Structure 1
Amino acid sequence: MSSDAEIALSSNSWAFAEAKKLADRYAKEAPAKGYVLFETGYGPSGLPHLGTFGEVARTTWVMHAFQKLSDIPTKLVAFSDDMDGLRKVPDNVPNKELLAENLDKPLTAVPDPFGTHNSFGEHNNSRLIAFLDQFGFDYEFKSSTEAYKSGEFDDTLKLVLEKYDQVINVILPTLGEERQATYSPFLPVCPRTGKVLQVPIITRDVDAATVTYNDPETGEEITVPVTGGHCKLQWKVDWAMRWHALEVDYEMAGKDLIDSVTLSSKIVRILGKKPPEGFNYELFLDQDGKKISKSKGNGISIEEWLTYASPESLALYMYQNPKKAKRLYFDVIPKAVDEYYTFLDKFPEQEAKQQFGNPVWHLHNGNPPAANMPISFGMLLNLAAVVNPDDKSVLWGFISRYADGATPENNPALDQLAGYAVAYYNDFVKPHKKYRQPTDQEKAAMEQLVGMLKEADQTTDAGDLQSMVFQVGKDHEFENLRDWFKALYETLLGQSQGPRMGSFISLYGVKESTALIERVLAGEDLAAG
Structure 2
Amino acid sequence: MTTASRDALELTPEVMEAAAESKAWPFEEARKIVKRYEGTSFPDTVLFETGYGPSGLPHIGTFGEVARTSMVRHAFRVLTEDRIKTKILCFSDDMDGLRKVPDNVPNKEMLRTHLGKPLTKVPDPFSNEYPSFGAANNARLRAFLDQFGFEYEFASSTEYYASGRFDEMLLTMLERYDAVMDIMLPSLREERAQTYSPFLPIHPKTGVVMQVPLEERKVDAGTIVWRDPDNGELFETAVTGGHCKLQWKPDWAMRWAALGVDYEMSGKDLIDSVKLAAQICTALGKKPPEGFNYELFLDENGQKISKSKGNGLTIDEWLSYAPTESLSLYMFQKPKAAKKLYFDVIPRAVDEYYTFLSAYDRQDWKNRLGNPVWHIHDGTPPAMALPVPFALLLNLVSASNAQNTDVLWGFISRYAPGVTPQTHPELDRLTGYALRYFEDFVKPSKAFRAPDDVEREALAGINDALAALPADADGEAIQNAILDVARSNERYQDHKRKSPNGGPGVSVAFFQMLYQVLLGQERGPRFGSFAALYGIAETRALITAALDGEL
Shorter-normalised TM-score: what interval? over 0.9
Counterpart of 1:7 (choices 11, 18, 36) is 18
How do 1:4-403 and structure 2 match up within 5 A? 4-32=15-43, 34-70=44-80, 71-115=83-127, 116-403=129-416
Counterpart of 2:525 (choices 499, 506, 511) is 499
Unaligned runs of 5+ in 2: 1-10, 494-505
Paired residues of 2:465 and 2:482 also in contact (CA < 8 A) = no
Deviation, 1:3, is: 5.1
Q: In structure 2, how many angstroms separate the alpha carbons of the residues matched to 1:492 and 1:251?
A: 50
Q: In structure 2, how many angstroms separate the alpha carbons of the residues matched to 1:175 and 1:286?
A: 30
For 1:391-441, what per-residue CA distance to the aligned partner results, in whole angstroms no more than 9, with x for missing partners? 222111101111221111111100011110111011111111111122222
Q: In structure 1, how many angstroms separate the alpha carbons of the residues matched to 2:106 and 2:340?
A: 27
User: Bigger shift: 481-490 or 410-419?
Assistant: 481-490
Deviation, 1:4, is: 2.6
Q: In structure 2, how many angstroms separate the alpha carbons of the residues matched to 1:318 and 1:521?
A: 44
Query: In the alignment, is residue 519 of structure 1 matched against residue 530 of structure 2?
Result: no
Question: Residue in 2 aligned with 1:467?
Answer: 480
Q: In structure 2, how many angstroms separate the alpha carbons of the residues matched to 1:399 and 1:479?
A: 31
The one-letter code sitting in structure 2 at the alignment partner of 1:99 is L
Q: In structure 2, how many angstroms separate the alpha carbons of the residues matched to 1:31 and 1:205?
A: 37
Query: In the alignment, is residue 486 of structure 1 matched against residue 512 of structure 2?
Result: yes
Q: In structure 2, how many angstroms separate the alpha carbons of the residues matched to 1:420 and 1:449?
A: 31
Deviation, 1:128, is: 0.8
For 1:228-278, what per-residue CA distance to the aligned partner results, in whole angstroms no more than 9, with x for missing partners? 001000110000110011100000000000011000100111111100001
Partner SS for 1:357: coil
Partner SS for 2:430: helix
Deviation, 1:31, is: 3.2
Paired residues of 1:8 and 1:357 also in contact (CA < 8 A) = no
Partner SS for 1:514: helix
Counterpart of 2:440 (choices 427, 439, 445) is 427
Q: In structure 2, how many angstroms separate the alpha carbons of the residues matched to 1:225 and 1:329?
A: 47
The one-letter code sitting in structure 1 at the alignment partner of 2:36 is R
Q: In structure 2, how many angstroms separate the alpha carbons of the residues matched to 1:339 and 1:145?
A: 41
For 1:130-174, what per-residue CA distance to the aligned partner results, in whole angstroms no more than 9, with x for missing partners? 011011000000000000000010000000001000011100011
Q: In structure 2, how many angstroms separate the alpha carbons of the residues matched to 1:517 and 1:9?
A: 55
Equivalent pairs counted in the alignment come to 524
Paired residues of 2:111 and 2:122 also in contact (CA < 8 A) = yes
Question: Residue in 1 aligned with 2:5?
Answer: none
Q: In structure 2, how many angstroms separate the alpha carbons of the residues matched to 1:498 and 1:139?
A: 40
User: Bigger shift: 431-440 or 44-53?
Assistant: 431-440
Question: Residue in 1 aligned with 2:468?
Answer: 455
Paired residues of 1:458 and 1:506 also in contact (CA < 8 A) = no
Paired residues of 2:486 and 2:492 also in contact (CA < 8 A) = no
Deviation, 1:477, is: 2.2
Q: In structure 1, how many angstroms separate the alpha carbons of the residues matched to 2:179 and 2:85?
A: 34
Q: In structure 1, how many angstroms separate the alpha carbons of the residues matched to 2:273 and 2:378?
A: 31
The one-letter code sitting in structure 2 at the alignment partner of 1:511 is A
Partner SS for 1:182: coil
For 1:375-404, what per-residue CA distance to the aligned partner results, in whole angstroms no more than 9, with x for missing partners? 111111111111112222211110111122
Counterpart of 1:439 (choices 452, 456, 462) is 452
Paired residues of 1:9 and 1:17 also in contact (CA < 8 A) = no
Paired residues of 1:30 and 1:72 also in contact (CA < 8 A) = no
Change (3 A) 1:9 1:478: farther
User: Bigger shift: 330-339 or 491-500?
Assistant: 491-500
The one-letter code sitting in structure 2 at the alignment partner of 1:49 is H
Paired residues of 2:14 and 2:365 also in contact (CA < 8 A) = no
Paired residues of 2:18 and 2:365 also in contact (CA < 8 A) = yes
Q: In structure 2, how many angstroms separate the alpha carbons of the residues matched to 1:479 and 1:147?
A: 67
Q: In structure 1, how many angstroms separate the alpha carbons of the residues matched to 2:305 and 2:458?
A: 47
Q: In structure 1, how many angstroms separate the alpha carbons of the residues matched to 2:187 and 2:546?
A: 67
RMSD: 1.2
Partner SS for 2:387: coil
For 1:282-315, what per-residue CA distance to the aligned partner results, in whole angstroms no more than 9, with x for missing partners? 0000111001111111101110101100000011
Question: Residue in 2 aligned with 1:510?
Answer: 536
Paired residues of 1:186 and 1:231 also in contact (CA < 8 A) = yes
Instruction: State the identity %.
Output: 59
The one-letter code sitting in structure 1 at the alignment partner of 2:412 is I
- TM, length-normalised to structure 1: 0.97
Which structure's relative contact order is higher, taking Cα pairs within 8 Å and 6+ residues apart?
A: 2
Partner SS for 1:38: strand
Q: In structure 1, how many angstroms separate the alpha carbons of the residues matched to 2:534 and 2:61?
A: 38
For 1:440-480, what per-residue CA distance to the aligned partner results, in whole angstroms no more than 9, with x for missing partners? 22222222222222222232121111110000111222244
User: Bigger shift: 476-485 or 118-127?
Assistant: 476-485
Paired residues of 2:116 and 2:209 also in contact (CA < 8 A) = yes
Q: In structure 1, how many angstroms separate the alpha carbons of the residues matched to 2:510 and 2:243?
A: 72
Deviation, 1:202, is: 0.8
The one-letter code sitting in structure 2 at the alignment partner of 1:217 is D
